[in-house]
Amino acid sequence: MEIAIMIEGQDGLTWPRWQKIAALVEDLGFAGLYRSDHFTNADAPDKDSLECWTSLTWLASHTQQIEFGPLVSPPAFRPPALLARMAAAVDDLSGGRLTLGLGAGWQEREHHLFGFELLDLKSRFDRLEEGLEVITRLLKSDQPVSFEGRYFQLREATLLPRPQRPAGPRILIGGNGQQRTLRLVARYADEWNATFQSPVGFARLSARLDEYLKVEGRAPGSVRRSMMTGLRFAQTRAGLERKQAGRSVEELQGRGFIIGVGDQIKPQLAALEQAGLQRIMLQWMDLDDMEGLSALAKVVL
């Protein structure tokens, strides 16, 4: 199982922090660096929130090995045609290392503050499905594309220059929903990104995805299985207790967190690998703790 790092970009991310984290993640040998796409944090007061796609463009030209991408970009922020253009360009700039993470969106506060329409849950997923149709058609078709949807329209549109990778960057869809999300993964995605699942929960959802893939005429191996989840890791018991913030180990593990001192996290990762997980994005919350990130690498890489 590959180990990557995930940063919550709305939780105080600035250029100096992003640049330090990116350099260290690559130097340490992690498989990738991913970040959320939010305009601000869910609860006041507001924190620094470095714009997602600007930071990914910088990452494309200032790293050489790590894969990267948003977890995940919603269609409310940027029209899908714009997302397709941005993703193709950033992927080309990086030499083919971008994964285009897409999702329906969920955070009410940022949509209200910045004037975006979140929509009710059903409409939100209807909009996401249209966005996926637009993005995949533009990335995959060398011919002009037309599409007439409720939320988005194309009229003989062609994405130029064509992506250097055939069909453009890999498309990831994030979420655990069995009725809409996994069906969209089976139809459109190259990668499914679950969130905060135990090994048993992940295996159950993965098996359901296999059923949907069969309906779409796709092999189970055609979709990579990844997961973003919380991490509470420290080098000492006292350090871990500070990160637990009053919650028990059992409570955090029940919510899908990886938690422990040093090597204690390795069996938890092994259990997820046994359940079929191919890549894990570990949520690194302390954006200034480079020593801790280095210690994590010594344990898991």
Place of tokens 């949509």: 111
Residue % of the chain over a pLDDT of 70: 100
**CATH number, residue 118:** 3.20.20.30
The 10 Å CB-count burial string (b at 16+, else e) for 267-283 is: ebbeebeebebebbbbb
Average pLDDT over residues 258-276: 97
Query: Residue 255 in contact with residue 231, Cβ under 8 Å?
Result: no
As a whole number of Å, the CA-based R_g of the chain is 19
Q: Is 143 left (phi over 0), alpha (psi -120 to 50) or beta?
A: beta
- Model pLDDT, residue 287: 97
* pLDDT over 90 (residue 137): yes
Q: How far apart are CA 117 and CA 3, in angstroms?
A: 35
What's the average model confidence in pLDDT over 25-44?
97
Average pLDDT rounded to a whole number, residues 114-119: 96
Domain that holds residue 43: 2-300
Look at residue 280 in the predicted model and tell me its pLDDT.
98
Report the domain count for the chain: 1
pLDDT tier, 158 (very low <50, low <70, confident <90, very high otherwise): very high
Report d(CA 48, CA 152) in Å as an integer: 31
Kindly state the tokens that stand for 187: 């139809």
**What contacts 28, CB < 8 A, 6 or more positions away?**
293, 294, 297, 301
- What pLDDT, on the 0 to 100 scale, is given for residue 167? 93
pLDDT in tens, 270-294: 999 999 999 999 999 999 999 999 9
pLDDT in tens, 35-88: 999 999 999 999 999 999 999 999 999 999 999 999 999 999 999 999 999 999
Mean pLDDT of the region 173-179: 96
CB 93: neighbour CB atoms within 10 A?
17
- Evaluate if residue 115 carries a pLDDT over 90: yes
The sign one gets for the Cα dihedral 73, 170, 93, 60 is positive
The pLDDT score that the predictor gives to residue 245 is: 87
